[in-house]
Structure 1
Amino acid sequence: MIKWADAHFAYKYGNGEKPIKKKRFGREHARQERIGWFRHFVSWLIGGAVLAVMIFSINNSSQTQALLHTLKLWALVLVIDFIISFNYTLFPKKER
């Protein structure tokens, strides 16, 4: 998101080149969605590891219940993101 904002700011207020729009259909769009999901998965792994270390280091289930709930909720969001992202691989959007 920062890369996108930087490119648009440089184009509008500086001497930057016009940003290239990403394709919103076909194989390229499906590829971009899969890459986005893999980034989400890596961030889930890192965040989940941090939460797991905190849960195991505290070692008190009543105090870490909220952390575990957060981890479960994030896992649900990851599964929903997987379904949506890989849906574009099976059923690619068509160009209008």
Structure 2
Amino acid sequence: MIVTLIVAAEISFWILLGLGLAARYLLRRRRTSTALLIGLPVVDLTLYVLTVLDLRGGATASWTHALAASYAGFSIGYGPSLVRWADRHFAYRFAGGPKPLPSPKYGPEHTRHEWQICRRTVASAAITLSLITLLVPLSAGAAHYGTFLQWYLKLGIAAVVNVIVAGCYSIWPKQPPADAHAEGDRTVERPTADAAQKRL
């Protein structure tokens, strides 16, 4: 049952995101768009509530229940940046917006980008582990901490690795190649002759 709910939540998330952006840029209905986009975290919260009810109903706790909880953690940690990314690309494709710039690859901009990813990952991991921990008392004892132990280890490792990576780029920033140039607020490589020809 939980796997089916997870798939349904995933599909609902992308449908709501697509409808929200279409309402904003194609139909020019900003309030409708806002209402649809607000529904994104509601989808994950509903999935979490149904997960709790499933455990309280006597289901055997498993990794799928923890996965369902992780959707809410991901939505809070990464959801806003994902919506902004989709918004920029949708506006460029369908509403004449500016072309989205790629993620910075060099220098201080790249370091700041890595720390942004790190903060989102740590926030997602912390929220997910909190929600997983709450499954135990909320499920009236149907779940046990030992069932979710591997999630504490995996998400903890993911958070630590992200901190180490971002820290390393702070100490040793990634240097741009000699032919790089400034484009806006970031450093990019100059296109090769072949790449320039393809653009033409």
Q: Tell me the TM-score normalised to structure 2 length.
A: 0.42
Residue 95 (structure 1) aligned to one of 172, 176, 181: 176
**Aligned match of 1:50 in 120, 131, 139?**
131
Residues in 1 aligned to 2:148 and 2:165: alpha-carbon distance in whole angstroms = 26
- How far apart are 1:85 and its partner, in Å? 1.9
Counting only pairs closer than 5 Å after superposition, residues 10-49 of structure 1 correspond to structure 2 as 10-49=91-130
- Offset of 1:59 from its aligned partner? 4.9
Q: Distance in 2 between matches of 1:23 and 1:36?
A: 12
- Contact 2:129–2:151, Cα closer than 8 Å, also in 1: no
**Matched residues in 2 for 1:2 and 1:60: separation?**
35
Which stretches in structure 1 are left out of the alignment for 5+ residues?
none
For 1:5 and 1:50, locate their aligned partners in 2 and report how far apart those are by CA, in whole Å.
27
Aligned equivalent of 1:77: 158
Matched, 1:86 2:134: no
TM superposition outliers: structure 1 runs of 4+ over 4 Å: 58-61
Rounded to whole Å, the distance in 1 between the matches of 2:175 and 2:148 is 41
Amino-acid identity (%):
26
**Distance apart, 1:77 and its partner CA:** 1.3
1:60 Cα deviation from its structure 2 partner: 7.2
Deviation per CA, 1:16-66: give whole Å up to 9, x if none: 1222334211111111111211121122221111112223x15578x4423
Offset at residue 75 of structure 1 (A): 0.5
Higher relative contact order (CA 8 A, sep 6+): 1
CA RMSD, aligned part only? 2.1
Say which SS state the counterpart of residue 37 (structure 1) adopts. helix
Query: What displacement does 1:13 show?
Result: 2.3
**Partner residue of 1:66 out of 137, 147, 152:** 147
Please, what TM-score do these two structures have when normalized by structure 1? 0.79
5+ long unaligned stretches in structure 2: 1-81, 178-200
Partner in structure 2 of residue 4 of structure 1 = 85
- The offset of 1:79, in angstroms, is 1.2
